[in-house]
Structure 1
Amino acid sequence: MTSQNEPGKHMSAEVSAQPAIFAGLVERRAEIAEVAEQVRRRKPRFVLLAARGSSDHAALYAKYLTEVLLELPAGLVSPSTTTLYGAQPDLTDVLVVSVSQSGGSPDLLEVTESARRRGALTVAVTNTADSPLNQAAELSVDIGAGVELAVAATKTYSATLLALYLLIDAVRGGDGEHVRNIGELAQATLDGSVDAVAEAVRRYRFVERVITTGRGYSSATAAEAALKLAETSYLAARAYSGADLLHGPVAAVDAETAVLAVTSLGKGGAAMKDVLDVVHQRGADVLAVGSAASDAAAALRIQVAESAEEVAPILEVLPVQRLALGLSLARGGDPDAPRGLKKVTKTL
């Protein structure tokens, strides 16, 4: 069933809306800073992040931010340890951040309620201010992306990244300097990547197997890229960190493999150079995406506007979303309504 006879129109509009959403979210930085101040006063010793789906990739990004910028240990929650196995660890002085675009996942709700009972400071980061998750958490951050009509998350994912960055940056005492013009950078990225994305759609229209890879902060973008390609174009897409790719999976890379490599300026992008050299030597067709794409060993490159490395994932994902949209349409699909998927997936 197509989206009102125009496949992809919602996803296309929502991708294009992101620069304005980013600018609006930055303008609301003071609201997020108030939440951050309460976190700072509690002085958490550890951070746990709970999420599912695309939000799980946003949580992975937040894990890197927490460990690098706050120098606090951080981990990703396995909700089933609470919902299926009933584990009740002591979470005194622990910050639990639950990330959910809808705020309606029963397992995340249970994790948040349980964590709060066990002494954690709980923060919900959602796109639905009146959601059950927001009500369950002690504090909440509204990402303010507006209603998302396409099943595949685009604007809610990127806005979640930005909201998490603003929160963590404020906890460390930052002033949001690196994202002050993020809306302009996002628009420049979307405008400047149109031709390269179109060429990538033509080049990879008939591919069936894709590996996505990145390092550091960009690991989250690689994971989200694999999910978007799988859910919109039904591709067999698998994400690996650049380091893990060389520890075995590279053996499966050959001339029939398309590799989407996320590489932006900074330590993570620099660490991808050796990875791409190896993959390129194995004959893989490499598509490099990021602000360091021009220096990558690749068959095709999609350049992204330069930014501080810690905020690059907010920009890197934009042409990836456009690529997923274009491939889905080129392959006869409707990315607004992928088969077998719903907007909110409820798991226990």
Structure 2
Amino acid sequence: MTSPGQHMAAEIAEQPAVLAGLVERHAEFAEAAARIAARPPRFALLAARGSSDHAAIYAKYLIEVLLGLPAGLVSPSTVTLYGARPDLRDVLLISVSQSGGSPDLVEFTTTARKQGALTVAVTNTPTSPLAAAAELAVGIGAGTERAVAATKTYSATLLALYLLVDAVRGGDGSTAAELGPLAERALEVPVQRAIDRYRFADRIITTARGYSYATALEAALKLAETSYLATRAYSAADLLHGPVAAVDAETAVLAVTGAGRGGAAMQDVLAAVAERGADVLALGSACEEVPAALRIPVPPVAEELAPVLEALPVQRLALGLALARGGDPDSPRGLRKVTKTR
């Protein structure tokens, strides 16, 4: 018999080794990048669901900032439900799925390939229907994940997307060389005070800007699916465009504040939520520089890689809160490991 959260805890702990192993596979990403460079795209599209959708949003920032290409997220239902057949010549489609089994992503990828796109699958299941449907497939190599909540597959997907984009721009992956040891340090950061403080919270807002917006989205999902908390993620810019009016002293705000331009742009929203008496938990490599009730520091790294490390204490926080609230994050109600949509 397993204890509550046993699988999730074990898989969180595996991440330093998983990330280090990915960095060592740079040659595989370079090979895929060469295929992409041989067919230079006009722009990129990303298809994903769930946690993978947050990884895709991270990839959108990578592609637009590091490659200078416009990028967007697709709506698979335009093809699967409405039968659209867009002209995708000279377009790069990256489909992201841990399982590679969601029918809508497989169908969209198949259609995109027929419509002229160069299709790339990023998945943890190299033998999946999605990998078969795409022209190129990149495995994230995280190994079997038994917990329902994605942990090691999420961080590995982020790193795989970074290594792919970095290789396309001619990088050698050296920026990510120390991620394994840095991940070990990130997992050692204490989160118990935050667990004790927020175990009775009714609602939590997560917010960030730039690359770390993906972290805010993933944090909201992890807290909702494991602890059943009412969560909502916002870009810090969007939070100021109206939703901040709902923030008060009963609101907990998890603000991702890393070093770099995205973290620096958090100052206005932090000032606004502080005026309304919100209880702020700052997480990130620059968390000591902002006003907050509690802080969870993350080891500093290049801004474009920060979300890989930020995800780790978020996962530990979600695990701890789920257990403190009497739940089992390995068996969240109403959820399965693979969700199939069309």
The TM-score bracket by the shorter chain reads over 0.9
Give the C-alpha shift of residue 77 in structure 1.
0.5
Aligned to 2:278: 284
Aligned to 1:140: 137
Question: Per the alignment, in what secondary structure is the counterpart of residue 330 of structure 2?
Answer: coil
Give the C-alpha shift of residue 177 in structure 1.
2.1
Give the C-alpha shift of residue 5 in structure 1.
4.0
Aligned to 2:78: 81
Q: Distance in 2 between matches of 1:318 and 1:76?
A: 25
Question: Per the alignment, in what secondary structure is the counterpart of residue 253 of structure 2?
Answer: strand
Q: Give the letter for the 2:78 counterpart.
A: T
Q: Distance in 2 between matches of 1:221 and 1:82?
A: 29
Residues 1:227 and 2:210 are matched in the alignment: no
Q: Distance in 1 between matches of 2:241 and 2:126?
A: 43
Give the C-alpha shift of residue 261 in structure 1.
0.5
Give unmatched runs, 5+ long, in structure 1.
none
Aligned to 2:296: 302
Q: Give the letter for the 1:296 counterpart.
A: V
Aligned to 1:332: 326
Q: Distance in 1 between matches of 2:30 and 2:3?
A: 41
Aligned to 2:175: 178
Identity %: 73
Residues 1:203 and 2:200 are matched in the alignment: no
Residues 1:322 and 2:316 are matched in the alignment: yes
Q: Give the letter for the 1:278 counterpart.
A: A
Q: Give the letter for the 1:144 counterpart.
A: G
Q: Distance in 1 between matches of 2:2 and 2:169?
A: 48
Q: Distance in 2 between matches of 1:302 and 1:339?
A: 29
Aligned to 1:341: 335
Aligned to 1:245: 239
Q: Distance in 1 between matches of 2:60 and 2:2?
A: 40
Q: Distance in 2 between matches of 1:10 and 1:70?
A: 37
Q: TM-score under structure 1 normalisation?
A: 0.98
Q: Distance in 2 between matches of 1:237 and 1:178?
A: 33
1:247-286 paired onto structure 2 within 5 Å: 247-286=241-280
The one-character-per-residue Cα deviations of 1:263-290 (angstroms, maximum 9, x if unpaired) are: 1000000000111111112100000000
Residues 1:30 and 2:36 are matched in the alignment: no
Q: Distance in 1 between matches of 2:202 and 2:172?
A: 44
Question: Per the alignment, in what secondary structure is the counterpart of residue 159 of structure 1?
Answer: helix
The one-character-per-residue Cα deviations of 1:39-90 (angstroms, maximum 9, x if unpaired) are: 0111011100000000000000000000000000000010000101111110
Question: Per the alignment, in what secondary structure is the counterpart of residue 283 of structure 2?
Answer: strand
Aligned to 2:54: 57
Across the aligned residues of Structure 1 and Structure 2, the Cα RMSD in angstroms comes to 0.6
Q: Give the letter for the 1:153 counterpart.
A: A
Q: Distance in 1 between matches of 2:76 and 2:266?
A: 32
Q: Distance in 1 between matches of 2:122 and 2:290?
A: 35
Number of residue pairs matched by the alignment: 342
Aligned to 1:215: 209
Q: Distance in 2 between matches of 1:123 and 1:292?
A: 35
The one-character-per-residue Cα deviations of 1:224-252 (angstroms, maximum 9, x if unpaired) are: 00000000000000000000000000000
